[in-house]
Amino acid sequence: MHKKVLLSLIVIVFFWLSLPATSLVDYKSEPANLESNKHCFDCHSNNIYQYENENTGKVERKAMNPNFVYNPDDFYKGVHRHFACTDCHSPDYETFPHQAELRLEEMYSCLDCHGGDPTYAQFQFELIDDEFHKSVHSTKHDESFNCWMCHNPHSYTNMTRSDFKISEIVSYHNKTCVNCHDNNIHFQRISDSLKPSLEVIHSFLPNYKLHFSAVRCIECHTSQEDTMWVAHNILEKEFAVKKCVECHSSNTMLISSLYKYQNIEARRNRGTLNAVLINEAYVIGANRNIYVNYASIALFFLTLLGIAIHVFFRIKMK
């Protein structure tokens, strides 16, 4: 008996240790180009920068274009934290003042670096690219709508394969959508129209704010791909999910999308064994236990039986 228990424990430990890492990004070590990047962040992390005008000999202070202001803390928390600025931008940027034509340099796409690279095969960049080109973000817009319209390379964080709670994943992903869809200044980069507020658009939801804090926009607005962690095929609004039962049911669609990440959170909060035994996140209408259901029904009928017996004896006693 003891040998069987010991063997079982060994198998469990071996299985746990053999699990793949949740992320290929090293978030703990010191960034590789911290010192060399300071030269760029000295200006591009501030709203105001100063320089010496060689023509006048004066030190001048200028307002930085807000689109070119980046938070170093966000950059060094992101997936590109070990990069040097000139890994993606022209080395000519090291010369100041910058040449005007450098603003027209073409940005790299994700596939330029990650396409066909077996090291990043688990991230499925090729499949993401295929799904993106099916989406309204691609079919309704020209080639200028690229990955960086939604994912800022200076701050992008790999939420779904790292040590984050589901609530943090929801908040981060929804901010990506809200950044354009609830901000007409950004939205007009791709459209001449103005959008009503998201609260007005989603007025059919019983509790708009609660839904947006608990569920990602893409759960209802994408075509789910089972092998992908984050769906990228954004559907036209006519095909968005609007039926409560799609989520609030025992076979909720969230199990195959958002709650793929529950294992990471459950292991952290409940321990490995409990994560296996209690392997379902909470959704109203989805979390059911058949044995509790049977017990509830049995208790209900026992209660009725008790009342009936009580009434019978009261009548008999009279």
Would you give the DSSP letter of residue 56? Answer: T
Average pLDDT over residues 104-120: 87
CA distance 101 to 104: 6
What pLDDT band is residue 229 in, cutting at 50, 70 and 90?
confident
Q: Which amino acid is at 260?
A: K
pLDDT at 192 (0 to 100): 85
Q: What are phi and psi of 298, to 5 degrees?
A: -60, -45
CA distance 167 to 192: 34
DSSP reduced 3-state for 228: coil
pLDDT at 273 (0 to 100): 44
CA distance 234 to 132: 7
Average pLDDT over residues 136-146: 90
Average pLDDT over residues 126-136: 93
Contact predicate 258/174, CB 8 Å: no
Q: Calculate what percentage of the chain has a pLDDT beyond 70.
A: 81
- pLDDT single digits (tens) 175-216: 999 999 999 888 888 888 888 899 999 999 988 899 999 899
pLDDT at 151 (0 to 100): 92
Average pLDDT over residues 18-28: 57
- pLDDT single digits (tens) 83-111: 999 999 999 999 888 999 998 988 888 88
The CA-atom distances, in angstroms, between 51 and each of 38, 54, 71, 98, 201 are 16, 9, 20, 12, 47
Radius of gyration (C-alpha) of the chain in whole angstroms: 27
Domain ranges (residues) in the chain: 31-105, 112-287, 289-318
pLDDT at 3 (0 to 100): 53
CA distance 236 to 135: 8
Average pLDDT over residues 156-165: 80
- pLDDT single digits (tens) 241-269: 998 888 888 778 787 777 766 655 555 55
